[in-house]
């Protein structure tokens, strides 16, 4: 009986060690790829901007949408480059929308990027649209590399700049 008790205790200890290792290693990888972004718009008059932050590949195919600012789906067709991807993948995008922001305003949000996108073959891509004004299909677009994702990146349309920090 004492021998069986020792074996059970040994297996419980091994199970605890394995669980702790798996939990802590998955937690570390999530923290490693978590970023906070501050997005600043240029001064303009008019409605709030709908903004889509995505990961695209070298062929400009969408791989993942990280954030959507603007929760009224009626205006999503105005983001015409991204909209077909949204129609195919809308169920996967639940819970990532937020309020639009207007000219001169800023917002702060966080996002996670899967390790597989940091290979130099993917870009962080941001597009913007404002009602009754122009659509900026490539407002901001840069290569995803761990060495260059953080810092300030300038937009070419409604986005003045974004600042990204690792958290």
Residue 93: band (very low, low, confident or very high) from pLDDT cuts 50, 70, 90 = confident
Distance between CA atoms of residues 36 and 166, nearest Å: 6
pLDDT on residue 10: 58
Distance between CA atoms of residues 142 and 104, nearest Å: 23
Please indicate, yes or no, whether the overall pTM of this predicted structure exceeds 0.95: no
Q: Is the pLDDT of residue 119 over 90?
A: no
> Which one is predicted more confidently, 142 or 7?
142
Whether the Cβ atoms of residue 137 and residue 108 lie closer than 8 Å to each other? no
pLDDT on residue 97: 86
Whether the Cβ atoms of residue 167 and residue 156 lie closer than 8 Å to each other? no
pLDDT on residue 22: 45
Per DSSP bridges, beta strands 106-112 and 97-98 are unpaired
Q: Is the pLDDT of residue 5 over 80?
A: no
Distance between CA atoms of residues 81 and 136, nearest Å: 10
Beta-carbon contacts of residue 94 (< 8 Å; ≥ 6 apart): none
Max mean pLDDT range (2-6, 18-22, 83-87): 83-87
| Chain segment 142-167, per-residue pLDDT in tens | 999 988 899 999 999 999 999 999 99
Residue 9: band (very low, low, confident or very high) from pLDDT cuts 50, 70, 90 = low
pLDDT on residue 98: 87
φ/ψ of 100, rounded to 5, equals -70, 160
């Amino acid at each position: 009986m004492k021998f069986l008790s020792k074996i059970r205790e040994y297996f419980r200890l091994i199970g605890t060690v394995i669980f702790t290792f798996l939990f802590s290693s998955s937690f570390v990888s999530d923290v490693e790829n978590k970023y906070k972004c501050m997005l600043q718009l240029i001064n303009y008059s008019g409605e709030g901007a709908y903004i889509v932050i995505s990961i695209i590949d070298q062929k400009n195919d969408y791989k993942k949408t990280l954030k959507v600012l603007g929760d009224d789906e009626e205006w999503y067709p105005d983001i015409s480059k991204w909209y077909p991807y949204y129609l195919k993948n809308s169920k996967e995008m639940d819970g990532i929308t937020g309020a639009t922001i207007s000219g001169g305003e800023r917002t702060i949000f966080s996002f996670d990027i899967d390790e597989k996108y940091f290979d130099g073959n993917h870009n962080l891509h941001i597009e913007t649209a404002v009602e009754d004004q122009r659509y900026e299909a490539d407002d901001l677009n840069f290569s995803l590399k761990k060495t260059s994702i953080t810092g300030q990146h300038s937009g070419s349309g409604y986005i003045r700049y974004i600042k990204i920090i690792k958290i």
